[in-house]
Chain A
Amino acid sequence: MTLSEPARIVGHMDHSAQAHGIIPAYLLARLAQSGRFTKAADAARQTLLAGRPQFRARLNLSIDEHGDLVAELTDAPNRTISDAGGTETLPGAVVRTEDDGPVDDASVNQAFDGLGATFELLLSAFQRNSLDGLGAPLNATVHYGTDYDNAFWDGERMVFGDGDGEVFRGFTGSVTVIGHELAHGVIQHTANLEYQGQPGALNESIADVFGALTEQYAEGQAADQASWLIGAGIFTDEVQGVALRSMIEPGTAYDDDELGKDPQPAHMSDFVRTTEDNGGVHVNSGIPNRAFALAARALGGNAWERAGTVWYRALSDGLSPTATFREFADATVDAASREYGEEVTAAVRDAWTTVGVLDAEGNRRTG
């Protein structure tokens, strides 16, 4: 079960107090028997009756302007971090759950916090309760493999390697990477874009959008303050590069003697046709990435509020699993028109035109 709207109760309290935390099971049981907080008692009883899948909620206590105690129940994440211990066997041993405090392993805590930051973005910006909108648990495995230079989504969980220490540091070190992996779970539960060619590059691009927004939301950065980098700090100092990708200037994230130059195109005229990388899904994602960053910067303010909402609606309101760049561009223009009106619609259309997916008249173009 899930709380679509925060459940709110008010009672009187003599002195000011404020608290914030996840409701542990014993408190839910106490709350269920409460005669004072009847609405919260109902919610708590339902929670206990619902059993599995486990329901998590957050209890926020504050004092309003009348001196009354206000208790709010809101959706909360349900995170479990496992440790593969350098093997490639999943899921590994559970090392931190939602009820546990920080442990003596930075990768575990980084994964835990990054999943939490992504959960907050989804809930606050898009009113989405976790991956499926129904409070799905967030599961991650760290320390996967030996010198493993990757992070991936296996269809059920996020998996993070430690990097080889020469090219890559550990992959939990970047909240944009964590948000990116979790976004693949959101995409799987919405349009389920196939992981090949243009729909695959859209899948990658939308994951980058959510990754960037997770960082911007957590840091309180407006669109013009954001770096628009994905995976900043993931490379070691030996590598000549700042990040894995730049959304605002695709193709400029690295230029290294050994790794070569960032191959991302910034315009449809440079679309790369290849059989590698599932048809270049990590290469051609530069084109829709730039469209998002341009739209967000043109609109100003917080990118998750208008541009982000438009992209989220386009993803989750009936987009085809085989959508092309053009079809997704049309879906964002439609969503902008539905949700906001002409200013936002024009900014979105202009962005897609700049990257060559829509033509200057706003008509469709082959792509």
Chain B
Amino acid sequence: MPKEIDAPDDRATADEDDLLVVAVVRTGGIAGLRRRWRVETPRPEAHDWLVLIDRCPWNAPAEHDAGADRYVWSIQVRMPSEERERELADSELRGAWRDLVDAVRDADAARTTKPGDPASRE
């Protein structure tokens, strides 16, 4: 699985150590489309993100959805001190997880949206 928290090749990576990176990858669903959203924030400005991240139940037992064609989510976080990764069943995406994922999707859209930019679809 590609590490979505890693920077794209064409970016400078000199100040990576000062960044908080959160990546969300959604796979599965009947379409089987892979969608990803990513946000990076300088460490001194990351307080709100850390609150969202810490509210999530990272160590709760994993759940598994019955049936078929459910989404599968992967949440990846890199902070200067540590990396975290958790796979979520679609039915687990509620509460604190939902807040974190929605915030990443909103921030990603705000970062990439330009008039006429196909990325605005996300």
**A-to-B contact residues, CB < 8 Å:** 149-156, 164, 166-168, 171, 177, 180-181, 184, 187-188, 195, 203-204, 207, 231, 234, 238, 244-245, 257-260, 263, 274-278, 281-283
Per-residue 0/1 for B86-121: is the Cβ within 8 Å of any A Cβ (1 yes, 0 no)?
000010000000000000000000000000001101
Please name 18 pairs of A and B residues whose Cβ atoms are closer than 8 Å in the assembled complex, sorted by A: A150-B31, A150-B71, A152-B29, A152-B70, A153-B67, A154-B70, A166-B121, A171-B30, A180-B30, A181-B30, A187-B68, A195-B68, A244-B31, A258-B122, A276-B74, A278-B28, A282-B29, A282-B32
Give min CB distance, A211 to chain B, whole Å: 10
Contact, CB under 8 Å: A155 / B66: yes
Q: How long is the Cα–Cα vector from A257 to B72 in the complex, in angstroms?
A: 23
A-side contacts of B118, CB under 8 Å: 238, 257-258
Residue of B nearest to A253 (CB): B31
Contact, CB under 8 Å: B32 / A153: no
Contact, CB under 8 Å: A276 / B72: yes
Contact, CB under 8 Å: B68 / A276: no
Given contacts A238-B121, A258-B121, A275-B1, contact A153 B27 (CB under 8 A): no
Give min CB distance, A87 to chain B, whole Å: 12
Residue of A nearest to B33 (CB): A259
Per-residue 0/1 for B29-42: is the Cβ within 8 Å of any A Cβ (1 yes, 0 no)?
11111100000000
Give min CB distance, A240 to chain B, whole Å: 10
Q: Does B69 contact A (CB under 8 A)?
A: yes
Contact, CB under 8 Å: A184 / B69: yes
Residue of B1, B65, B68, B119 with most partner-chain A CB within 10 A: B68
Given contacts A149-B29, A150-B30, A244-B31, contact A258 B72 (CB under 8 A): no
A-side contacts of B32, CB under 8 Å: 244-245, 263, 277, 281-283
Q: How long is the Cα–Cα vector from A276 to B1 in the complex, in angstroms?
A: 7
- B-side interface residues, number (CB < 8 Å): 24
Q: How long is the Cα–Cα vector from A150 to B28 in the complex, in angstroms?
A: 9
Q: Does B25 contact A (CB under 8 A)?
A: yes
Contact, CB under 8 Å: B72 / A278: yes
Apart from A149-B31, A281-B28, list 10 A-B contacts with CB within 8 A.
A150-B31, A150-B71, A153-B69, A181-B69, A257-B118, A263-B32, A276-B74, A277-B28, A277-B72, A281-B32
B-side contacts of A180, CB under 8 Å: 30, 69
Contact, CB under 8 Å: B1 / A152: no
Residue of B nearest to A167 (CB): B121
Give min CB distance, B69 to chain A, whole Å: 4
Contact, CB under 8 Å: A184 / B71: no
Contact, CB under 8 Å: B69 / A151: yes
Contact, CB under 8 Å: A184 / B74: no
Query: Among residues 1 to 51 in chain B, which have CB atoms less than 8 Å away from a CB atom of chain A?
Result: 1, 25, 27-34
Given contacts A149-B29, A150-B29, A238-B121, contact A207 B68 (CB under 8 A): yes
Contact, CB under 8 Å: A277 / B27: yes
A-side contacts of B1, CB under 8 Å: 274-276
Q: How long is the Cα–Cα vector from A153 to B34 in the complex, in angstroms?
A: 19
B-side contacts of A282, CB under 8 Å: 28-32
Residue of B nearest to A187 (CB): B68
B-side contacts of A151, CB under 8 Å: 30, 69
Give min CB distance, B70 to chain A, whole Å: 5
Q: How long is the Cα–Cα vector from A274 to B72 in the complex, in angstroms?
A: 13
Q: How long is the Cα–Cα vector from A166 to B121 in the complex, in angstroms?
A: 6
Contact, CB under 8 Å: B68 / A153: yes
B-side contacts of A275, CB under 8 Å: 1
A-side contacts of B30, CB under 8 Å: 150-152, 171, 177, 180-181, 231, 244, 282
Q: How long is the Cα–Cα vector from A198 to B67 in the complex, in angstroms?
A: 16
